[in-house]
Amino acid sequence: MRMKKKRHGSERLSLLSSLIVENPATLVENLESVYGNNKPLRIEIGCGKGDFVRGKSVQESDYNYLAIEKIADVCVLATEKYATSRSLGNLAPNGGWQTPDGTIYPLGADSVPMTLEEMGNVRFAVGDASELLKDLPDNSVDAIYVNFCDPWGKKGHAKRRLTHINFLNMYSRILVKGGKFHFKTDNRDLFDFSLEEVEKSPFLLEYKTYDLHASDMNDVNIQTEYERNFTEKGFKINMLIAKNEK
């Protein structure tokens, strides 16, 4: 996702730091203190501006969600949009964060106070998923979502794809047995590559479509920002769901 550098991005993010998880590796043993419950954990990798995780967390609310985004200036937007959707406030007119009672927390102030109930079931983490997820315990995650990841089309770049077998093996390790991997993309080459990688992996393909919006899954589909853009341009959306059979 290309993005101009956000003014005061890191200060904006630190105002909402209650919604940020610094170390996902320890999240699983701290679900109660982070989310206020021990519901199963689901992870979205490369959440962009967070439309998907916001929608999913409401549609399937009996789970905790962690949305990972490697670009801090993108994660700021996702976190702010989520906080606004939870009625936790808005960007203040001259910078900082304004809570619904009118209090303004200026840039540089301490984190805006929030209760666990107000924060709901989504948290965000900034960083590269391969780093952030590598130390998660085995069998600790209920589902993993990857939506419209970078296709890394150049020769020699296949290992960077978030559906490369190395990533699938890591997902399999941290997912519970029977946990699901969900993947959407407009890119047919990447989709075909991903199907081949699933074939080699501990996952069993459960569902695939080359035209999600014409499929029986469309009713429950939560669109992402990229999905809306590509659909408007006439691209069909591919989706697969694979079950962890390790």
Ligand X SMILES: C[S@@+](CC[C@H](N)C(=O)[O-])C[C@H]1O[C@@H](n2cnc3c(N)ncnc32)[C@H](O)[C@@H]1O
168 binds ligand X (CB under 6 A): no
Site for ligand X in 16-55 (CB under 6 A): 45-48
Q: CB nearest ligand X: which residue?
A: 46
Stretch that binds ligand X, among 13-21, 63-71, 107-115, 173-181 (CB under 6 A): 63-71
Question: Is the Cβ of residue 41 or residue 129 nearer to ligand X in the bound state?
Answer: 129
Stretch that binds ligand X, among 22-30, 103-111, 144-152, 187-195 (CB under 6 A): 144-152
Q: Which amino acid appears at position 198 of this protein?
A: V
150 binds ligand X (CB under 6 A): yes
Shortest approach of ligand X to residue 178 CB, angstroms? Answer: 25
238 binds ligand X (CB under 6 A): no
φ/ψ region of 10 (left if φ > 0, alpha if ψ in -120 to 50, else beta) reads alpha
Spatial distance between the Cα atoms of 176 and 180, rounded to a whole number of angstroms = 9
Q: Of the listed 138, 150, 189, 211, which one is catalytic?
A: 150
Site for ligand X in 177-206 (CB under 6 A): none
Whether 138 is catalytic = no
Stretch that binds ligand X, among 25-33, 80-88, 197-205, 219-227 (CB under 6 A): 219-227
128 binds ligand X (CB under 6 A): yes
- Strands of 41-45's sheet in order across: 122-126, 64-69, 41-45, 141-147, 175-185, 238-244, 203-209
- CB 77 within 8 Å of CB 91: no
226 binds ligand X (CB under 6 A): yes
Shortest approach of ligand X to residue 222 CB, angstroms? Answer: 10
Spatial distance between the Cα atoms of 175 and 187, rounded to a whole number of angstroms = 25
Shortest approach of ligand X to residue 160 CB, angstroms? Answer: 8
Spatial distance between the Cα atoms of 216 and 226, rounded to a whole number of angstroms = 21
Q: Which residues of the chain form beta strands (DSSP E)?
A: 41-45, 64-69, 90-91, 97-98, 104-105, 122-126, 141-147, 175-185, 203-209, 238-244
Question: Is the Cβ of residue 124 or residue 203 nearer to ligand X in the bound state?
Answer: 124
How far, in whole angstroms, is CA 186 from its chain's centroid? 18
Shortest approach of ligand X to residue 166 CB, angstroms? Answer: 12
What dihedral angle (degrees, nearest 10) is formed by the CA atoms of 203, 205, 210, 213? -90
- Residues carrying an active site annotation: 150
List contacts with ligand X (CB under 6 A): 1, 45-48, 68-71, 74, 128-130, 147-150, 224-227
